[in-house]
Structure 1
């Protein structure tokens, strides 16, 4: 470690350039990871809030929540520890005449069941046409409590009475309302006597469901999330991208350390002629790489945190501490693995040839 520190101090500019390259790669990896995790979370946060085990859909819906239509008679046959009905449909809302249209996902739920969202501001809906909305609509589109929302293609007006946090489905902000209001949104001018007999989109279950009719199928919430349109493709794409960046970082670091090692062959030859063992010199190179990689990765993480503060709310950027720690450890480990090629060169140095 002593030799490593002194070498870095002696050639500070040269090692700063190497560390700068690692820093830029680390920053890129962290930034892409934040974007990837944020985009993936925007697909599923509303589902994660359920804290459920299974979801039941119609067998012929092809895992599409909006296309599933379950009769109430079939739902009543299912036995489970806890179960809650869910109605879902995409929609377009506007706030006033001057606002742009906003794509949203409507969730119709019963307020006495466990799908009820947490309230971060305002209150839970109780009256007809009252809604609780995801707080991104407040941050990004300035929708406030008591605002009236119009629905595209429908004369129903919705009153915002509460906000909830982290409620997005398939990247769309979720609007929660009662099942009665939902049916009016979906089927305008629907008579009340028919509203309670309409099918629902899904049955969400805590525990293991039993007595499931043959026309329905049950799947774990994990499998359901993976089948959300676009979710798996996004995760795999960013996952491969980040993995390749880490491997490229290891190769770049290995090349830089190898070049620096070759430039010091004469010095290493003199050290070996003086009786300094290969192990001591090799450990010095490993320590140098560890110091450079650790400092660069830490600086990359710090800059990523600062960037996250400056990003606009519309950018789906989320910092996952465990993901960042895992990436940091991998980058340092791969950097050390890349430096092992230099160690192999050191062990083959002939002191007499190196001195000349």
Structure 2
């Protein structure tokens, strides 16, 4: 460590440049990890909000909520679940009546206001009358507010925002929560008819004991989320990008250190001629790599958090400290492994040749 640190102090500019490269790579890795979490959260936020163990869908729906249609009789035949909550869902384009240029794609959920999947209210109040909706607070950034009348593309009816809730997006679309009666109106169906239900959300200590008709299936919540359109492909793609970045960074570090080691061959030769062992020099190179990587990763970590504080509200980035720490640890380990190539080159240095003997 003594040799490593003193060399860094003697060649500040060289090692600052190396740490700067590591900083930029670490910054990119951390930012991408935040993007992975943010994009994933956009798709699953409303589902996580249910705090449910499973969801019951029709067997032919391929685990797709809009493609599943349950009858009232189907719902009544679900047995051995602690809590059940029927839900219906459609997609639409919402526009403010006072400003039709303000448009936003939304997912509309019909729920019972006293069920466990009903939204918490952060502004305004829960829907009560027909035509009332509770909106995701993301719509506030689009200009929507409590009291706004909203026209839906899928209906000639109007709804009124009476409240807002937090953390409510489904498949990247903000959610509008409403009653089944309002959903019937939106769909153009008679209010007195039995409401159409897309699924039943379940809380149960043991979902394997839940009994459903043969036409239905019980799907674990995480499995349902994985089947959301584009969710799995998006996560795999971005995670692979992070993995490739880490591999590329290890190669870059290895090249830098190898070039530095070759340039210092005569110095290492002199040190070896004075009796300093290969093991000591190897530890010095590894220690030097560790110092440079930790500094670069720490600065990249700080820069990422600083960037996050100034990002616009619409940028889907969500930083998770645990994930970032894991990536930081992997980054440091991979960098040290990359230094092995430099260590091997030290073993091959002949002291006599290095000093011109």
Do they fold alike, i.e. is TM over 0.5? yes
Q: Hey, what does 1:130 align to over in structure 2?
A: 132
Alpha-carbon separation, structure 2, partners of 1:67 and 1:232 = 19
Q: Using the alignment, how far apart are the partners of 1:117 and 1:134 within structure 2?
A: 9
Correspondence for 1:201: 198
> What secondary structure sits across from 2:305 in the alignment?
helix
Q: Which residue of 2 aligns with 1:270?
A: 270
Q: Secondary structure at the match of 1:193?
A: coil
Match of 1:331 in 2: 331
Q: Which residue number corresponds to residue 35 of structure 1?
A: 35
Matches of 1:69 and 1:192 in 2, distance apart?
A: 17
Counterpart for residue 168 of structure 1:
169
Show the counterpart of 1:179. 180
5 Å-filtered alignment, 1:254-269, equals 254-269=254-269
Task: Give runs of aligned pairs for residues 109-258 of structure 1, distance below 5 A.
Answer: 109-139=111-141, 141-187=142-188, 190-194=189-193, 197-207=194-204, 208=207, 210-258=210-258
The correspondence of residues 262-301 of structure 1 with structure 2, limited to 5 A, is 262-301=262-301
Alignment partner of 1:84 is 2:107: no
Listed as ranges, the matches of 1:22-101 within 5 Å are 22-79=22-79, 80-95=81-96, 96-101=98-103
Deviation of the 1:157 alpha carbon: 2.0
Distance in structure 2 (CA, Å) of the matches to 1:167 and 1:287? 47
Supply the distance in 1 between the matched residues of 2:60 and 2:175 (Cα, whole angstroms). Answer: 25
CA separation in 2, counterparts of 1:74 and 1:9?
74
Stretches of 4+ aligned residues off by more than 6 angstroms: none
For residue 348 of structure 1, report the CA deviation from its aligned partner: 2.2
- CA distance in 1: counterparts of 2:190 and 2:212, whole angstroms: 30
Shift of 1:315: 1.4
Shift of 1:155: 2.9
Q: Tell me how far apart the structure 1 counterparts of residues 349 and 99 of structure 2 sit (CA, whole Å).
A: 78
- Provide the C-alpha distance between the structure 1 equivalents of 2:284 and 2:278, rounded to a whole number of angstroms: 10
Q: Which runs of 5+ in 2 are unaligned?
A: none
CA distance in 2, matches of 1:108, 1:300: 44
Q: Determine helix, strand or coil for the equivalent of 1:101.
A: strand
What are the within-5 Å matches in structure 2 for residues 336-351 of structure 1?
Answer: 336-351=336-351
Q: Distance in 2 between matches of 1:120 and 1:290?
A: 47
- Following superposition, the deviation at residue 309 of structure 1 comes to 2.2
Deviation of the 1:153 alpha carbon: 4.3
Q: Distance in 1 between matches of 2:90 and 2:341?
A: 57
* Alpha-carbon distance, 1:284 to partner: 1.0
**Matched residue of 2:281: which SS?**
helix
Q: Aligned equivalents of 2:333 and 2:258: distance in 1?
A: 16
- State the distance in 2 between where 1:153 and 1:228 align: 22
CA distance in structure 2 between the aligned counterparts of 1:64 and 1:222, rounded to whole angstroms: 13
Query: TM-score with structure 1 length normalisation?
Result: 0.96
1:100: how far off?
Answer: 3.2
- Where 1:335 maps in the other structure, the secondary structure is helix
Aligned to 1:124, what secondary structure does the other structure show? coil
In 2, Cα distance between the equivalents of 1:160 and 1:337?
Answer: 57
Show CA shifts across 1:46-71 (max 9, x none). 00011111111111112211010011
Any stretches of 5+ residues in structure 1 without a counterpart? none
SS in 2 for 1:83: strand
- SS of the residue aligned with 1:93? strand
